[in-house]
């Protein structure tokens, strides 16, 4: 939670210091993702509106790997501001420190489908993009069910 507050404060300061002007699109972004699942993210645009995103996240003393296909569209004709939607799949390897899973020694492997809905702003004056999104997941294998609690804030270096 402390890291989320720090990243949120950094985003506010960044928005305050940068004048909003005409932004240029980027091809690839690499960065940090902070939320209930903290981790790394990489996004690569295939065209003007389509992108692939890979996420490596940590939670419950384990790791999750997610691949997503996303469609990006302008929002309010504002330069650099886009909304996006997409879907993909995940695989995860977790230790059982979640109370519903049993004892702390319990290990779980999960596989399933993901959706994503978010907002992204990329700056013209320096190579940074900020995004906030919701990524619900449905586990098909392992601990079955819907995980709808993954909201995250990401800050990426773009090139």
32-73 confidence digits (pLDDT tens): 999 988 999 999 999 999 999 999 999 878 899 999 999 999
**Spatial separation of the C-alpha atoms in residues 151 and 115, rounded to whole Å:** 12
Strand partners, 74: 82
45-54 confidence digits (pLDDT tens): 999 999 999 9
Q: For each successive 10 residues of the chain (159 residues), what is the average pLDDT? A: 55 46 69 92 94 92 93 91 96 73 68 97 91 95 85 94
Q: What is the pTM of this model?
A: 0.78
Do residues 131 and 151 make contact, with C-beta atoms less than 8 angstroms apart?
A: no
Domain boundaries, the chain: 2-18+28-158
Residue count of the chain, please give it: 159
- Classify each residue of 107-134 as buried b or exposed e, where b means 16 or more C-beta atoms within 10 Å of its C-beta: ebebebebebebebbbbeeeebbbbebe
State residue 156 phi and psi, 5-degree precision. -125, 145
Please identify which residue in the block is written with the tokens 């702003």: 121
Calculate ∠ Cα 21-27-31, nearest 5°: 85
- For domain 2-18+28-158, give the fold: Porin (2.40.160)
């Amino acid at each position: 939670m402390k890291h989320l507050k720090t990243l949120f404060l950094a985003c506010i300061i960044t928005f305050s210091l940068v004048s909003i002007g005409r932004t240029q699109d980027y091809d690839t972004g690499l960065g940090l993702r902070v939320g209930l699942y903290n981790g790394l993210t990489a996004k690569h645009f295939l065209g003007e509106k389509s992108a692939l995103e890979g996420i490596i996240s940590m939670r419950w003393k384990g790791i999750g790997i997610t691949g997503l296909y996303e469609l990006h569209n302008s929002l309010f004709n504002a330069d650099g501001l886009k909304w996006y939607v997409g879907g993909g799949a995940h695989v995860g390897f977790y230790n059982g420190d979640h109370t519903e899973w049993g004892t702390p020694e319990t290990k779980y492997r999960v596989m399933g489908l993901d959706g994503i809905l978010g907002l992204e702003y990329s700056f013209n004056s320096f190579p940074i993009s900020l995004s906030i999104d919701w990524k619900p997941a449905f586990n098909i294998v392992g601990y079955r069910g819907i995980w709808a609690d993954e909201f995250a804030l990401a800050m990426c270096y773009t090139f």
